[in-house]
A = this chain, B = another copy of it.
């Protein structure tokens, strides 16, 4: 069996409201990879993808190159592209990047946060409380974080942050499996929001760094054990 079934569903659902075919293909594949709909290591055959998407090979190749630049696919010359592998060290890598970027984003954003932003973050926490589906949970978590960082006004920084929040989502089901993620994470979310509300930048930065760091550490340990076993 190859890339598909699941992917075909995503293709069907994806809205044709993209500027170009290549971007439509890229966005759809990216989502499929990030959500795990296409497993790591899966070959991404051009002809097959072209047929699945109902397009020619060229936009597919452009999309694959973009995925490569985002570290979501790997190219092996004359052997084609495969979905980038996941690993304990990769998870640690992403965790380190998040621990570096997110406190900075928060620092830049905090002074400009509005009461509306804080209220929205509050709502997102509440929504997460009742959420069991990992995919939906990942999205809510991402929106919570991005809401707090959103006023930073540094588009490149924010794009990187979001990209790595998304990258972290590839590990979401392991995150859940690593146990205890949900409730402790929610406590940390609340503490973080409280610090933001109080305008305590130093505390907020520390909390977000710990929040990300602890999750990454748990996850990495879990994956290491899994790889060893």
Q: Describe A's contact surface by its main secondary structure.
A: helix
Partner of A100, one of B68, B89, B100: B100
User: Are B77 and A19 in contact (CB-based, < 8 A)?
Assistant: yes
Chain A interface residues toward B at CB < 8 A: 19-20, 22, 58, 61-63, 65-66, 68-71, 75, 77, 89-90, 92-94, 96-97, 99-101, 103-104, 108, 153-157, 159-160
Q: Is the CB of A92 within 8 A of B58?
A: no
Cβ–Cβ contact B154 & A92, under 8 A: yes
* Cβ-neighbour of A97 out of B68, B99, B157 (below 8 A): B157
Q: Say yes or no: B20 contacts A96, CB within 8 Å.
A: no
Given contact pairs A62-B65, A90-B156, enumerate 18 new A-B contacts (beta carbons under 8 Å).
A19-B75, A19-B77, A20-B75, A20-B77, A58-B61, A61-B62, A65-B69, A66-B66, A66-B69, A89-B153, A92-B154, A93-B154, A96-B154, A97-B101, A99-B104, A100-B100, A100-B104, A100-B157
Least Cβ distance of A40 to chain B in Å?
Answer: 15
Q: How far is the CB of A102 from chain B (nearest CB, A)?
A: 9
